[in-house]
Copies of this chain bind each other. A is one copy, B any other.
Amino acid sequence: MKILIDVLGADKGVGEIVKGAISALDKINYTPIFVGPEDEIKKYLPESIKGKYEIINANDLITNNDKPTTAIRRKKDSSMVMAFHALKDNKADGMISTGSTGALLAGASLIIGRIENVDRAAITLIFPGLESNTVILDVGANLDINPELLVQFAKMGSSYAKVLFDIDKPKVGLLNIGTEEAKGNEQVKAAYELLKNSDINFAGNVEPFNLLNNNVDVIVTDGFVGNIALKSVEGTSKIILNLFNEAVMTDMSSKIGGLLIKPALKKELSKLDLNSTGAAPLLGSKKPVFKAHGSSNAKQIEAGLVQMKKFIDQDVINDIKNLMGGK
């Protein structure tokens, strides 16, 4: 199996991405195809892996400031566009990138294309949970949608959750402001009806209180609301942890207290690490395209690649095709 690794666009630089891809070689059987500036990539490749990788030289970079569709159309020499074309031309089985989410979505749509009967590709996130993780989609790609699209998201999310969590019939929840059937705005109420009558294992509404502690495997929402919820959770966690650090600095006894409790607290908080899962697929794309966080470190890239391998091995995309009734 070959996986294209777009090495440009990561906050921590090319070296970190290459390092992650190399350490994944110890975990999974695959050939990385690094896409980016050849000379720089080579600096990070040890002798020991000679012959175990390929490089596609690409010197241009799509940034978060570029307009996504324009960048995909014009920046032909960018690492992301070169990776997309290699994927399209069957030179690899999938690609992963830490680059601009908008550009990645545009490329998946314009160069790779969508699965039949999928109207829009969705950005997925694996939400960490106290008891178990949850696939949530969409978290930012589709801001104005219709209830039918939420059903498509539910189907695609189910396919993915089956493989990710090794379960048969993933439970799907609808993000809403209350658990009762009659709750919500017109869009979610209509989606509730459609989901209830679909062949999805629909478990009803999920309240944002329970984003981090729910009993479903998949949560569907529109990209606007999903992004608002995600950023509310992230912002709150960060602020509370800052308050904890402030509290530690208050006086001598709180400093000692902080030192004593830190190891246990770190362990508990690791349950909620939003980045622990490495990367997540753009669901709806005809071929595997994974988005890793811009701030990813080597460990997260490695985790992302391990996940991708499973996604490709178990042919999630074909499962989505079947569920969507396409070919």
Within 260-281 of A, Cβ neighbours of B (below 8 Å) are at 260-265, 267-269, 271-272
Q: A240-B269, A256-B257 are in contact. Are A212 and B235 (CB under 8 A)?
A: yes
A110 within 8 A of B: no
Q: Could you tell me if A209 and B224 are in contact, using CB atoms closer than 8 angstroms? A: no
Count of this chain's copies in the oligomeric assembly: 2
Flag if A144 contacts B186 (CB, 8 Å). Answer: yes
Q: Is A49 an interface residue (CB 8 A)?
A: no
Cα A220 to Cα B239 in complex, Å, equals 21
| Cβ-neighbour of A247 out of B175, B209, B264 (below 8 A) | B264
Q: Do A247 and B267 form a contact, CB below 8 Å, given A177-B140, A260-B256? A: yes
- Give the one of A140, A213, A257, A267 with max B CB within 10 A: A257
A234 to chain B, nearest CB (A): 6
| Minimum Cβ distance to chain B for residue A228 (Å) | 5
Chain B residues with CB under 8 Å of A264's CB are 247-248, 250-251, 254, 257
- Is A130 a contact of B254 with CB atoms below 8 Å? no
A207, A236, A254, A258: most-surrounded residue (chain B CB, <10 A): A236
- State whether A246 touches B260 (Cβ < 8 A): no
Chain B residues lying within 8 Å of A143, measured Cβ to Cβ, are 177, 184-186
Contact between B228 and A177, CB atoms less than 8 A apart? yes
Given the interface contacts A244-B265, A244-B268, A247-B265, does A209 sit within 8 Å of B225 by beta carbon?
A: no
Interface size for chain A: under 10, 10 to 19, 20 to 34, or 35 or more residues?
A: 35 or more
Interface residues of chain A: helix, strand, loop or mixed (majority): helix
Q: Which of A231-246 contact B (CB under 8 A)?
A: 231-241, 243-244, 246
Q: Which residues of chain B are within 8 angstroms of A261 by Cβ–Cβ distance?
A: 247-248, 253-254, 257-258, 261
Asked whether A109 is an interface residue with its Cβ less than 8 Å from the other chain, the reply is no
Contact in complex: A208, B231 (CB < 8 Å): yes
Known: A210-B235, A236-B236. A260 touches B269 (CB 8 A): no
Since A208-B231, A211-B235, A243-B272 are in contact, a sample of 8 more A-B pairs with Cβ atoms closer than 8 Å, ordered by chain A residue number, is A144-B185, A212-B236, A213-B239, A228-B232, A240-B269, A247-B268, A256-B257, A257-B260
A-B contact pairs, 12 of them (CB 8 A): A144-B186, A208-B228, A208-B232, A211-B232, A212-B235, A224-B225, A233-B235, A236-B236, A237-B240, A250-B264, A254-B264, A257-B264
A interface residue numbers (CB < 8 A to B): 130, 140, 143-144, 175, 177, 184-186, 188, 207-213, 222, 224-225, 227-229, 231-241, 243-244, 246-248, 250-251, 253-254, 256-265, 267-269, 271-272
Q: Lowest 5 A-B CB distances belong to which pairs?
A: A257-B260, A257-B261, A232-B232, A209-B235, A250-B264
